[in-house]
């Protein structure tokens, strides 16, 4: 039964209609046979009328109802379902490290945690016109056109508990460049004489699998390589440093040469160390368990819907 209520009098809509509208907005368009990837406010209002939920309803009313529950069907974000069969175990031990434990035992003062990764293909872009500085009522202006001057692979290692960054520029990533980063860190104190140095790393080709563990520990017996689960770089704290580096030192990108880019990367590392503190990492193993339980429930719900279809 259609409910005919004037659009300019939304307060007269019964609660059941509001619930139905919100439920509709929480559906994927394909579930309603719509050739859309996501719905706008106007799409939702149009579908409400087409489905007979309300004979007349304004976009403004739909927006207000969705705004109450922060439902935004016109937005989307990318994410990856955990596919590593050992996700819980691998992620859990990294989170334990961040809390100062390894296999249930507190870390000692002469044990350190290094988070490492590579930021590939950082380009040096020489603008065809020099940037203009900020001015009253004008933001900084950067010329759109540029000439590519080459690119660096930037390898970095972040000391999780001491807020110290090590970095180097290489022409490409690979086993040899990564080994040079290992040497750069491990030949310095306090790591050279440390009891153990835990290196958290993703599954990139430079340090993937058991072969990399054997190679690294043969050369540096005090290193304990700790791999993140597949597709879980968010567990690696150096990624936070990379995001800061990108925002603060590389955007906008305007470098006359590769040498200027390299100088900026090293200078920023020194600058950041002077003001840095360890990251306030608050995601714990308990939070991980809650997250994985939610994901399991979502998988079970999707499976049920798939079987029903």
Phi-psi region of 137 (alpha: psi -120 to 50; beta: other; left: phi over 0): left
Contacts by 74-83, CB closer than 8 A, 24 or more apart: 74/38, 74/39, 74/40, 74/41, 75/38, 76/37, 76/38, 80/231, 81/295, 81/299, 82/229, 82/231, 82/232, 82/292, 82/295, 83/230, 83/231
Two structure tokens written together for 188: 């310095």
Q: C-alpha 4: how far from its chain's center?
A: 46
Q: How many CA atoms lie within 13 A of 39 on its CB side?
A: 29
Task: List the single range of 79-83, 144-148, 227-231, 272-276 with lowest mean pLDDT.
Answer: 79-83
Q: How wide is the angle at C-alpha 112 spanned by C-alphas 176 and 196, nearest 5°? A: 75
- pLDDT greater than 80 at residue 292: yes
What confidence tens digit (pLDDT) does each residue in 246-260 have?
Answer: 999 999 999 999 999
Q: How far apart are CA 188 and CA 101, in angstroms?
A: 24
- Asked whether the whole model's pTM tops 0.85, one would answer no
pLDDT band at 307 (very low <50, low <70, confident <90, very high): low
Please state, in angstroms and rounded to a whole number, the distance separating the CA atoms of residues 224 and 96.
Answer: 14
* CA distance linking residue 177 with residue 184, whole number of Å: 11
Q: Which of 18, 25, 53 is nearest to 40 (CA)?
A: 25
* Nearest one of 225, 227, 239, 221 to 279, comparing CA atoms: 239
Average pLDDT of every residue of the chain? 92
- DSSP 8-state secondary structure symbol assigned to residue 134: P
Contact 200, 114 (CB under 8 A): yes
CATH topology of domain 87-275: Nucleotidyltransferase; domain 5 (3.30.420)
- Pairing relationship of beta strands 146-159 and 111-127 according to DSSP bridges: antiparallel
Residue 5 in this model has a pLDDT that exceeds 50: no
Please report which confidence band the pLDDT of residue 6 belongs to, taking 50, 70 and 90 as the band edges.
very low
Name the DSSP class of 32.
G
Number of CB atoms found within 10 A of residue 214's CB: 11
Distance, in Å, from the CA atom of 251 to the CA atom of 257, rounded to the nearest integer, reads 16
Question: What are 6's two structure tokens?
Answer: 């004037």
75: tokens are: 């937005």
pLDDT of residue 309: 56
Q: Is the pLDDT of residue 10 over 70?
A: no
pLDDT digits 0-9 by tens, 109-120: 999 999 999 999
148-164, pLDDT tens digit by residue? 999 999 999 999 999 99
Per-residue pLDDT tens over the stretch 173-191 = 999 999 999 999 999 999 9
- Positions of CATH 3.30.420.10 in the chain: 87-275
Position 64 scores a pLDDT of 95
- At 298 the pLDDT is 79
- pLDDT bucket at 11, cuts 50 / 70 / 90: low
User: What's the confidence (pLDDT) of residue 80?
Assistant: 75
Query: What CA–CA distance (Å, rounded) separates 133 from 74?
Result: 36
Burial of 226 from C-beta contacts in 10 A (0-12 / 13-18 / 19+): buried
- Per-residue pLDDT tens digits for 60-108: 999 999 999 999 999 998 877 788 889 999 999 999 999 999 999 999 9
């Amino acid at each position: 039964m259609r409910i005919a209520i004037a659009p300019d009098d939304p307060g007269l809509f019964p609660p059941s209609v509001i619930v139905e509208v919100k439920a509709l907005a929480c559906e994927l368009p394909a579930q309603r046979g719509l050739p859309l990837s996501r719905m706008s406010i106007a799409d939702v209002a149009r579908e409400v009328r087409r489905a007979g939920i309300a004979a007349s309803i304004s976009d403004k009313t739909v927006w207000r109802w969705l705004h109450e529950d922060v439902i935004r069907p016109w937005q989307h974000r990318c994410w990856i379902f955990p596919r590593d069969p050992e996700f819980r175990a691998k992620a859990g031990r990294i989170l334990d490290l961040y809390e100062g434990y390894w296999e249930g035992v507190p870390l000692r003062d002469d044990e350190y945690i290094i988070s490492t990764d590579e930021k590939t293909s950082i380009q040096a872009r020489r603008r065809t016109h020099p940037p203009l500085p900020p001015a009253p009522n004008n933001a900084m202006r950067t010329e759109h056109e540029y000439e590519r001057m080459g690119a660096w692979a930037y390898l970095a290692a972040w000391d999780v508990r001491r807020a110290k960054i090590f970095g180097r520029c290489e022409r490409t990533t690979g086993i040899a460049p990564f080994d040079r980063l290992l040497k750069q860190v491990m030949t310095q104190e306090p790591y050279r004489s440390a009891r153990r140095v835990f290196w958290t790393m993703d599954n990139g080709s430079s340090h993937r699998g058991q072969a990399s563990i054997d190679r690294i520990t043969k050369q540096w017996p005090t290193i304990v390589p700790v791999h993140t689960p597949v597709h879980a770089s968010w567990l690696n704290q150096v990624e936070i440093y990379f995001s800061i580096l990108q925002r603060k030192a590389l955007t906008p990108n305007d470098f006359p040469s590769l040498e200027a880019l390299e100088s900026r990367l090293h200078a920023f590392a020194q600058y950041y160390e002077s003001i840095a503190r360890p990251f306030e990492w608050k995601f714990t193993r308990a939070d991980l368990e809650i997250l994985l339980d939610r994901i399991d429930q979502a998988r079970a719900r999707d499976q049920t819907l798939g079987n029903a279809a």
